[in-house]
Structure 1
Amino acid sequence: MRNISLENVDVAPSVVDTKSWLLLNPDIQMELDGAVHNLYNSKHDQAEKQFRSLRRRYPQHPMPYFLMGLSAWWKIMPSNVTNTIYDKSFFAYMDTAITKGERLYDLDNKNYEACFFLAAAYGFDARLHAERHDLRKATISSKRALDYLDKSKEANGLSPEFLLGQGLFNYYAAWISEEHPWLRPILLLFPKGNRQLGMQQIKNVADNGMYAGPEAKFFLMKILGSERENKSADALVVARQLATTYPDNGYFQRYYAMMCFNNGEHRRCEQVSLDILDKLNRGMPGYEGFSGRYATYYLGWLNQNKYKNSTKAKDYFQRCVVFSEATGQTGVGYYVHANYNLAKIADEENNVGAARRYYQVVVEKAERKSDIYLEAKDYLRTRKVMKADIRQQQGPSYTSEYKPSKKTSAKSRLSSLDVKAN
C-alpha cells in the first residue's frame, strides 16, 4: 500500500510551467471574484452565467465544471443536504471535472493545478456519497482525493488554495477514529492526520484563499463551534464575517443567529432571525423550513424569557413545530424544546389538555434522564393521578375535563417538583 504523507510544504516547485494554470491567472481571478461571491451569496443564476462563459473559453479545463458542481452543492446545503433534486447535476459536473482533470494530468504529471481540481472534485463527490449513506463510493472517492492531494502538495507554496484539502484531512483524520471506532477498519487505508497542523492550514486558506477561502471559513466556523473545540466566541467571529459578506446565504445566516444566541447576543440574534423569516416569506433561494425552524425557536425563546410575551412566544414555538415537522427534523433539538416551552406556557394558562399533548411529545422524543424528559414525565403522571382522584370524588356523573384553578395549578407544580426531587 502506498505511503501517503500530508505534511505541509511551503516551498514552490522549482521547475513547473504554470502559464496555463487558471488558478494563478490574475485576470481570471479578477473576473471570477464576483462570480464566487454570487455563488456563496445564493445568487446561483448570476454565478453560473459567469462559469458558463469560462467554460466556453476553456472547454477542456476542469475549473468551470468544478465551479458549476460547487454551485449545485450550495443549492443542496441549505436543506442540511437532504434535498436530492440537484444530486444528478452535482455528480455530472464533478464527473466531468474529474475527466478533464485526468486528461490534463496524463499530459503532464507536474500539472499540480489538475491535481488540485481532481482532489477537490473527488472530495466533494465523497462528501455527497457519504451524506447519501453510500459508504463504498465515499471511500473510493476519498482515497482518490487523497492520492491527488499527496501529488499536489508540492505546489502549496504557489497558492493557499492547495492547502484546504490537506488541512481538512489532517484535522478530521486525527480524531475521527476516536469518535467513530466502527470506521477504524476503513481508516486503516488512510494516513494519520495532524489536528494542530490541519487547523493551521484551514486558517491559512480562510485568511488568504480566493476560491477556497469561503469554504475554508465555513469549515473553520463549524470546527470552532463544535463540542470538541468548544470555542463558541471564536466561531461567532467567523460566522459574523460570513453572514456579513454573504447576507443572502440562508445557511450562514441561521448559523450566525445560532452563534449569537449561544453567546448571549440576543438583540443581534433577534434581528437576524426576523430577517431570515422575512426572506423566507419572500421565497428567496436557500431560505426554507430549515432556516425557519432556527429563527422561530430563537424568537419564541426571546419573547418567552426576555420580553415576557407568552402570546408571541406561543406563536413562534408553534411555527417552529410546523417547520420541524415539514422538514422531518423531529428528533432531539429545537422540535423537542419548542414542544417543552409550549407545554410550560399551556400550564401557565391552566390549559391542562394542551400541556399534556406537548409534554407527551417531549416524553416520546427527548433523551431519557434529561431534565425536560423527567419534568414531562412527572407532569403527565401527576395530572393523571389528580384527574383520577377528582373522578372518584365526583362519582360516575363526572364527565368534563378537569381544569385546575390557578391556586391548584401552583400546588400541582410544587407537587411535581417534589416527585422529581425524590
Structure 2
Amino acid sequence: MRNYFQVILSIFVLVGISVKSMAQSPTPGDVVPAPKYLLLDKGLQYRVTKAINSMYDFDFPTAERDFAVIMYQYPNHPLPDFLMALGYWWRIEVDVTNTRFDNIFIQYLERANDKAEELLDQDPTNKEAAFFLAAGYGFMGRLYSERKSWTKATFAGRNALKYMEMSRGEEEFNPELLLGDALFNYFSVWIPENYPLLRPVVALFPKGNKQLGLQQLETVASNAFYTRVEAMYFLFRLYASEEKKPYEALRISEYLHGKFPNNPYFHRSYARHLYSVGRWTESVEQSMEILNRIQNKQYGYESNSGRFAAFYIAEYHNRVGNKSEAKKYYLQTVAYGEESESQESGYYLHALIQLGKMATAEKNKPLAKKYFDTVKRYAKRKHPAHKEARDFIKKNKL
C-alpha cells in the first residue's frame, strides 16, 4: 500500500472486476435483447474472452472493436462500457502518476453505472446490475485513492461495498464475488498489524483472516471466470511484498507474462521477481527486452518501466564488478526516474547512492556530493537512503 489512506480504502473498495466472457454472437449490427444476466450467457464466451485477452496484452484497438460491437448490440447494458473502462484502467496502471486517461476512464464507468442503475430500477433483485455497480464504484475508488481524492474515494468505496452485498445470492457469481471477500479478509487483519492507530476503524468491521484471504485469492485465480487475472495481480503483489514469498510471486508473474507478453506491467514484474530470487541473468535478459521495447516505442513501454529495467541491469553489473556498465545503467535509472517524476522511489534513490560512491572512488568529490545532496532532497529524513547519504557525506568529508 502506498500510504495509510489507501490502506483504509482497501477495506471499503471492492477491486474492479475484470470481465472475461462472450462468444459467438449474432451478426454485428443486430441489436439483441439482453438476457437477464448477460454475464452468464455461455453463447457469448468465446468472443469476449478473445477481446479481453487482447486488452490484457495491450492490443487495445482489437479489444475495443469487439467491445464496440457488443455496445451496439446491447446498448442498454453496462458490460461494454465497463469493458472499455477496464482497458483504460490498464493504461493507467502502467504509470499511475500519469493522469491523461483519468477523465475517459471515469466517463465510461459513469455510463456503465448509469445503465446498471436503470436495470436495478426496473428490477431491484437484479444481481448482475448490483455486480456491475460494485465493480464500477470499486474501480473509481482505486483511481481516486491514487489521486488522493479521499472524499470521492471513500464515497465510491462504500458504494462498492453496498452493491457487493446486494449482488450476493446468485450462485454462479460466487467465484467472482469471492475476490472482494478475499481482499477484505486479508487487509482487515493486515491494517491493524501495520497501522496501530487505525485499529479503532477496523474494529467496526467483522474480523478477518489473512491466511483465508490468501487461500480465497488462490481459489479465484484458479477457478473464477471474470476476476481471475485481477486476483493474480493482487496475489503476486502480496507474495512479493507483504508475505515475503518471492518464488510464489515469480510463479504468477511468469504465467501472466507468458500469457500476455506485451503487457508492460506484467513484463517488468516478471523481471523484478526474477531479480528478487537471484535469477539475475534472466532478469537482465527481460530488462534489456523492456529497454529495447521502449527504444522502439512499443505501446505501453515508457519511462516508468525503464526505471525498473535499467536498475536491475545496473545492479547485476555492479555485483559482477563491471563498474562501467553499472554506472551506465544507474545513470539510465536516474534519467528514467526524472522523466517519470519518480524521484522518491527507492530505485531512483539507490541509483544515486551508487553513483555517488562511484564518483567518490573516482576522486570526483563535487559530483559525489551532488548525487548525495539529491538523495537528501528527495528522500524523507527517516528513509534509509537519507541516512546513508548523510553518513557517507560525513564519513568522506564531502
Question: TM (normalized to structure 2)?
Answer: 0.85
The alpha-carbon deviation at position 353 of structure 1 amounts to: 2.9
1:336 correspondence with 2:349:
yes
Residues 260, 266 of structure 1: 8 Å contact kept: yes
| Mapped pair 1:302 → 2:316 | yes
Taking only the aligned residue pairs, the percentage that are identical comes to: 39
**1:315 alignment counterpart:** 328
Distance change (3 Å), C-alpha of 1:379 and 1:126? closer
**Residue in 2 aligned with 1:32?**
48
Equivalent position SS for 1:211: coil
Name the structure 2 match of 1:239. 253
Moved more, 178-187 or 164-173: 178-187
DSSP-derived class of the 1:23 partner:
helix
Bigger shift: residues 193-202 or 311-320: 193-202
Runs of at least 5 residues in structure 1 that lack an aligned partner in the other structure: 7-17, 386-422
In structure 1, the residue matched to 2:28 is: none
Matched, 1:350 2:366: no
Q: Structure 2 vs 1, CA of residues 104 and 332 (structure 1 numbering), >3 Å: closer, same or farther?
A: closer
Q: Distance in 1 between matches of 2:115 and 2:213?
A: 29
SS of aligned partner of 2:167: helix
Equivalent in 274, 282, 304 of residue 288 of structure 2: 274
Q: Which amino acid aligns with 2:175?
A: P
Q: Which amino acid aligns with 1:225?
A: A
User: Residue in 1 aligned with 2:214?
Assistant: 199
The one-character-per-residue Cα deviations of 1:133-152 (angstroms, maximum 9, x if unpaired) are: 12112111111111111122
2:168 equivalent to 1:153: yes
For residues 127-166 of structure 1, the aligned pairs below 5 Å read: 127-158=142-173, 160-166=175-181
Structure with bigger RCO (C-alpha 8 Å, 6+ apart): 2
CA distance in 1, matches of 2:395, 2:188: 49
Listed one character per residue, the Cα deviations across residues 312-353 of structure 1 (whole Å, up to 9, x for unaligned) are 111111111111112111115011110111122223333333
| Amino acid corresponding to residue 103 of structure 1 in structure 2 | E
Displacement after TM superposition at 1:183 (Å): 5.3
1:105 matched to 2:101? The reply is no
**Counterpart among 22, 29, 39 of residue 38 in structure 2:** 22
Q: Aligned ranges for residues 205-224 of structure 1 at < 5 Å?
A: 205-224=220-239
| Residue of structure 1 in register with 2:79 after alignment | 63
* Farther off after superposition, 310-319 or 372-381: 372-381
Corresponding letter in the other structure for 1:338 = A
Q: Cα deviations across residues 9-38 of structure 1 (Å, max 9, x unaligned)?
A: xxxxxxxxx953221222211111111111
Counterpart residue number, 1:87: 102
Q: Which moved more, 1:293-302 or 1:339-348?
A: 339-348
Which AA in structure 2 matches 1:262? S
1:197/1:371 CA distance change after superposition, 3 Å = closer
| Residues 153 and 162, structure 1, Cα contact 8 Å, conserved in 2 | yes
> Is residue 349–residue 385 contact of structure 2 (8 Å, CA) maintained in 1?
no
Q: 1:156 touches 1:163 (CA, 8 Å); kept in 2?
A: no
Q: Which residue number in structure 2 is paired with residue 41 of structure 1?
A: 57
Partner of 2:44, secondary structure, is helix
Worse overlay, 156-165 or 279-288: 156-165
Distance 1:156 1:173, change over 3 A: farther
* 1:372 to 1:179, Cα distance in 2 relative to 1, 3 A: closer
Amino acid aligned to 1:90: F
Q: What CA deviation, in whole Å up to 9, does each residue of 1:89-146 have, x standing for no partner?
A: 1111111111111222222233222221111011111111111112112111111111
Q: Determine the C-alpha separation between the residues in 1 that align with 2:171 and 2:314.
A: 48
2:168–2:174: 8 Å Cα contact kept in structure 1?
no
Equivalent AA in structure 2 for residue 214 of structure 1: V
1:52 matched to 2:52? The reply is: no
The residue matched to 1:70 in structure 2 has which SS?
helix
Q: Which stretch has the larger CA shift, 250-259 or 153-162?
A: 153-162
Distance 1:167 1:184, change over 3 A: same
The TM-score normalised by the length of structure 1 is 0.80
What is the aligned-residue RMSD (CA, Å)? 2.5
What is the alpha-carbon distance in structure 1 between the residues aligned to residue 249 and residue 286 of structure 2?
A: 16
Which moves more between the two structures, 190-199 or 338-347?
Answer: 190-199
- The unaligned stretches of length 5 or more in structure 2 are 1-11, 15-33
Which amino acid in the other structure matches residue 26 of structure 1? K
Corresponding residue number in structure 1 for 2:18? none
Secondary structure of the structure 1 residue equivalent to 2:40: coil
Give 1:393's aligned residue: none
Query: How far is 1:202 from its partner?
Result: 1.9
